[in-house]
Amino acid sequence: MRSRHDWVIWAFFWSGIALTALFVGGPVLNALWLSLHQASSFIAEPRFVGLGNYVRVVQEADFWRAMGNGVIYAVASIVLQVVIGIAFAMVLNQPFFGQRLVRGLATLPYLLPTVVVALTFQWLADGSVGLLTVLARDLGLGTIPWFEQPATARASVVLASVWLWTPFVTICVLAGLQTIPPALYEAAKVDGAGPVSRFLHVTLPQLKPVLTVVVLLRAVWMFNKFDVIWLLTRGGPLGATEHLPILAYKRAFSQFDVGGGAAVATVSFLILMTIVTIYIRLFPLEEKR
Amino acid sequence: MASVTLAGVTKTFSGLTVVHAVDLAIEEGEFMVLVGPSGCGKSTTLRMIAGLEETSGGTIRIGPRDVTRLEPRERNVAMVFQNYALYPHKTVAENLAFGLKMRGASKAQIHERVQRAAAMLKIEPLLARKPRQLSGGQMQRVALGRALVREPDIFLFDEPLSNLDAKMRVHMRDEIARLHREVGTAMIYVTHDQVEAMTLGDRICVMKDGVVQQVGRPLAVYDRPANRFVASFIGSPEMNFVDGVVAAREGRPVFQARALSVPLDGVRHAGLADGRALTLGIRPEHLERAEDGFRAEVVAVERMGAESVVLLDAGLPVRALIDRDDAVSRGDVIRLRAPPDRIHLFDQDGQALDA
């Protein structure tokens, strides 16, 4: 009985390890190896160049611009997702008629494939008949060139990302809000706290464990996000929305510089790892309430 | 310091009335206990006084102020909650200080009052701790402290001791009584525990199904319960009730219930007409051993230490409280008497005859 039980545990354990090694560890090591070689394609004979690719890419203006774009995109979309996500969650946490239905609908964008959301957003932002374009025009804002100018293109990818991933924050925060004992709010009311003080002194501190994880996950995902930007702008116009993952992809697959692309991806990985390490030091995940 | 006056205070939740037109006056400095079984509306009444629940009708005054429509923070009340409701992310000192901070007290004032409250409750060594590092009793002290520092017009307590173990409960009960003596502010205290009510209250207000049954000094309520519910709720073990009729025997009134007959000579109540259906109530502690008493067989003995509760069969089930040295055991037949001045009589609606 006992040995059978052990067998099941080991089977799950080793199959997990094997799959991770095959589909995560393998590609990571392969990328590291590629980043130390010069190759014009994945089938070409690679030539070892040591840290040459790294030296080359970090000296290029494209790299630093992509890094700046990535930081702007990640920070802007995380801040907006968290702020709007908390606001939505607080509204959805109030009792009102049709609450369940609205809660369900609010999660919908998150459930849709990115390509569907990106295409829908493109229609909404269509230069002549898009709903957002018409709305902006009617509001007297003129015709907004959603994807044609650097500033608006940056704003557009942030907007689409916020639309797509805010529901994730909303769901997590809503779950967090539901664990806050109502008596804390009552105690705060009796203690003389108004709505803003109650938010700052009860809601926010009680949400801290949830927000710590949510911000961490969103930071990792937004920094690595590829699909939504690629589908909307392909990094344009003039590289305004090109961040490190897109730069790495373009290098490897459009410019046939596999080693350079791998070097960009590796540097991006190291930067993210540094950020995450600092973040976890500042906001330890295991802190209990 | 202020008095509290409730006039016709009513609460209705989606068509269901849970508090029916409560009239209650709590005097300055008084300790009033609202007591009753769960669902009797006592907590809802307290929450309406705090402003945490809107009233559906009636008015609430604190001192001369009509606070019925005011927010909790405008009422200057402090409340101690059943589950303490301490802010988990704040230290004990910050928990104590929060109410003062919200009211814009100066740092010096906050420090002074927090220190004074902490000294009163002997929680100075805990000031830097977080609530999760405290025991139940310590958390309750901090919750008391949080109310105390505010120096409110009224203290409200919502079953504050029900999460504590029996020993700590008795200890904290004494502590609350001491605090009341020291601060002298009116306190309104909700509990389902009649022992807490009896020991703490200057007066108690017994509630059932959202209706006030009786308000009075604890011993007055114990001695002269207004109805059968109050008689059964106040006092432990519960009062014995026997349904029967008044019969005249040799010109004297006797209470007759199956084989049991209790002379009503000297019972002070009027209206003992022959043939009237009544309920007789007698507290277990008031039954006496007497040779001329009614006959009862011992069914079980619950030894509680100084006293024992004896379950008896006198043709009807009866409980009596006897001294531990009074050695009775199962199967013994004893004779008991209900002293006339200890007998309570209730009409068929459950109202006391002398009420």
pLDDT tens readout for residues B13-23: 988 999 999 99
CATH number at residue B311: 2.40.50.140
| Gap from B244 CA to chain A (nearest CA, Å) | 49
CB nearest to A184's CB, from B78, B82, B85: B85
> Do the domain assignments include residue B130?
yes
Residue A249 dihedral angles phi and psi, to the nearest 5°: -65, -45
CB contact under 8 A, B85 and A183: yes
CA within 13 Å, CB half, B260: 25
Which run of H or of E encompasses B293? strand B288-303
Residue A205 near chain B (CB below 8 Å) = yes
| Gap from A189 CA to chain B (nearest CA, Å) | 6
> Do the domain assignments include residue B354?
no
Chain A segment 216-275 residues within 8 A of B by beta carbon are none
Domain boundary among B182, B200, B233: B233
Residue B234 dihedral angles phi and psi, to the nearest 5°: -95, 130
pLDDT tier at B250 (50, 70, 90 boundaries)? Answer: confident
8 A C-beta contact, residue A43 and residue A256 = no
> Do the domain assignments include residue B311?
yes
- Residues of chain B with a CB closer than 8 angstroms to some CB in chain A: 50-52, 71-73, 77-79, 81-83, 85-90, 98-99, 102-103, 132, 146, 150
8 A C-beta contact, residue B314 and residue B295 = yes
CATH number at residue B119: 3.40.50.300
Q: Average pLDDT of chain B?
A: 90
Domain boundary among B203, B233, B263: B233
List of residues 6+ apart from A16 with CB closer than 8 A: none
> Do B121 and B206 lie in a common domain?
yes
* Of the candidates B232, B212, B218, the residue with the CA atom closest to the CA atom of residue B44: B212
> Do the domain assignments include residue B353?
no
Check whether A288 has a pLDDT greater than 50: no
Task: State the Cα–Cα distance between residues A222 and A225, nearest whole angstrom.
Answer: 5
Predicted confidence at residue A2, as pLDDT, reads: 58
CATH class of A54-282: mainly alpha
ipTM for the complex? 0.84
Cross-strand bridge partners of residue B345 = B280
The whole domain housing B264 covers 240-346
CB nearest to B103's CB, from A181, A189, A192: A192
Predicted confidence at residue A286, as pLDDT, reads: 63
Predicted confidence at residue B355, as pLDDT, reads: 47
As a whole number, mean pLDDT of residues A92-118 equals 85
pLDDT tier at A80 (50, 70, 90 boundaries)? Answer: very high
For A14-43, write each residue's pLDDT tens digit: 999 999 999 999 988 988 898 888 877 777
Domain boundary among B173, B201, B233: B233
For the CA atoms of B6, B7, B11, B15, the dihedral, rounded to the nearest 10 degrees, stands at 170
Which chain B residue has the Cα nearest residue A181?
B85
CB nearest to B83's CB, from A183, A193, A201: A183
8 A C-beta contact, residue B82 and residue B39 = no
> Do B114 and B249 lie in a common domain?
no
Full-model pTM:
0.82
pLDDT tier at B284 (50, 70, 90 boundaries)? Answer: very high
Check whether A111 has a pLDDT greater than 90: no
As a whole number, mean pLDDT of residues A1-21 equals 86
pLDDT tier at A255 (50, 70, 90 boundaries)? Answer: confident
Check whether A122 has a pLDDT greater than 60: yes
Check whether B272 has a pLDDT greater than 80: no
Which chain A residue has the Cα nearest residue B154?
A190
As a whole number, mean pLDDT of residues A62-84 equals 92
Predicted confidence at residue A289, as pLDDT, reads: 45
Predicted confidence at residue A220, as pLDDT, reads: 87
> Do B57 and B198 lie in a common domain?
yes
In this structure, the number of other CB atoms found within 10 A of the CB of residue B187 comes to 26
For B43-69, write each residue's pLDDT tens digit: 999 999 999 999 999 999 999 999 999
